[in-house]
Amino acid sequence: MSALSIAHYFPFRRIRIIDQSISVEAKMAQIYIVPDKRFHPICHQCRSPSLKIHSQKERVIRDLNFASTRVWLHCHYRKVFCPSCKRILTEELELFIPYQRVTKRLACYIHELCKVLTVKEVADHLGLNWKTVRKIDKLFLEEEYGQTDYLGLRILAVDEIAIRKGHRYLTIVLDYLSGRVVWVGKHRRASTLMAFFNKMPKKKRDELEAIVMDMWDPYILAVQKKVPHVKIVFDLFHVVSQFSRVIDKIRNAEYRKASKENKSVFKGARYLLLKNRSNIRRTKDREQLKQLLELNEVINTMLILKDKLKHIWSYRSRAWASKAIDQWCALARCINHPEVHKFAKMLDKYRYGILNHCDYSIHTSKLEGVNNKIKVIKRKAYGYHDFRYFSLKIIQAFAN
């Protein structure tokens, strides 16, 4: 008699293999399993022993492939009355989770594959329905990341990310020190960020020190209302980005005023004015920028303002930074254009967030990298219909 056995591949104490069958081309294997009657049945929820057997059932369950062969288990199991739970439940066989159509080890394998592959790719690889794969992966994610982890939060970064056309946004909250995504919320409203703070224990809210963001009023309102002691820091990138739009409007206005022979100097100069001068490498571009600055005093002043605006974030003294803002605003008001005056008024209004940068030298560049990775996750899956699943995938991607 042959000593070969497949029982070693099923190291579960409470089951016994009684038969197997394999298709002609070895593409599919059917294995028949029954409970081992040497053990009393136990409840799968509380694991209490039970002697009252209510009924016997059979379920076909998908298991891990054996080489290239797909394995199906015909599993007999018992329904028992649990004296602790006071109801009828499935017995624990250590092999599968009740109401699941795959074994525990196949479910773990699916979850591991979903970390690097899309749901569709995993489903095609294993020959399963994509909804089954998503449901299994989501169960694991809920278990691991379903509860928001507030441990060690002192400095936060908050930003929004566009997920589709029509101003559809997500709010991303990042632990600035560790780089992990703490929370993902729908929309970019004040109520969105308030929901995050509402769920945070008061002790954890009191431990927060600073939060970096752009000058988006709904986020500012949420922070001031829920955690008024936290210092708001405004990011340099977003402020300079807004001022770059003002520069472009000034360029268009000056182009319309220019004579016909000088208009050619303005053409193609949009991105030359928006770039840092150190990034302009071509000789042709450098010459054009030089001609434009010699030709137009207003644009020359705008570029000086741009350089001075960046310099404000280099100060470590609040007094010196405040003085630099006053000087910048005074210079900006010398330019007779409403957009420049409007920007100077805004900078003066939000100066508290710029001055807080002297105490907390933080920025949202980490979040910009996070946002790029989130877009890659979204594109790989061609979008997500299930917001909860998408948010869990984001948190998982930055958990380590």
Least confident span in 90-99, 137-146, 390-399: 90-99
Specify the DSSP element, H or E, that contains 59.
Answer: strand 53-66
**Average pLDDT rounded to a whole number, residues 69-86:** 88
Residues 59 and 366: their CA atoms lie apart, in Å, by: 49
Joined tokens for residue 61: 């369950």
**Average pLDDT rounded to a whole number, residues 236-261:** 85
Model pLDDT, residue 280: 76
Specify the DSSP element, H or E, that contains 276.
Answer: none
Q: Are 53 and 41 in contact (CB under 8 A)?
A: yes
Give, in degrees to the nearest 5, the angle at Cα 313 between 219 and 157: 30
CATH fold, domain 155-235+363-397, is: Nucleotidyltransferase; domain 5 (3.30.420)
Model pTM above 0.85: no
Joined tokens for residue 347: 């900078």
Name 382's Cβ contacts closer than 8 Å, sequence gap at least 6: none
Residues 236 and 181: their CA atoms lie apart, in Å, by: 22
Asked if pLDDT for residue 3 goes beyond 70, the answer is no
pLDDT band at 380 (very low <50, low <70, confident <90, very high): confident
Q: Are 316 and 355 in contact (CB under 8 A)?
A: no
Rg of the chain, C-alpha, whole Å: 31
Residues 98 and 92: their CA atoms lie apart, in Å, by: 9
Model pLDDT, residue 2: 54
Model pLDDT, residue 1: 42
Question: Residue 37's closest CA among 18, 21, 20?
Answer: 18
pLDDT digits (tens, 9 = 90+) for 153-203: 999 999 988 887 777 889 999 999 998 999 999 989 999 999 999 999 999
Model pLDDT, residue 227: 94
127's torsion region: left (phi>0), alpha (psi -120 to 50) or beta? Answer: left
Model pLDDT, residue 99: 80
User: 283: exposed, middle or buried (C-beta count within 10 Å: 0-12, 13-18, 19+)?
Assistant: exposed
Model pLDDT, residue 262: 77
User: 147: exposed, middle or buried (C-beta count within 10 Å: 0-12, 13-18, 19+)?
Assistant: exposed
Give domain limits for the chain. 1-101, 104-145, 155-235+363-397, 236-354
Q: Are 186 and 216 in contact (CB under 8 A)?
A: no
Least confident span in 104-108, 124-128, 349-353, 364-368: 364-368
301 against 51, higher pLDDT: 301
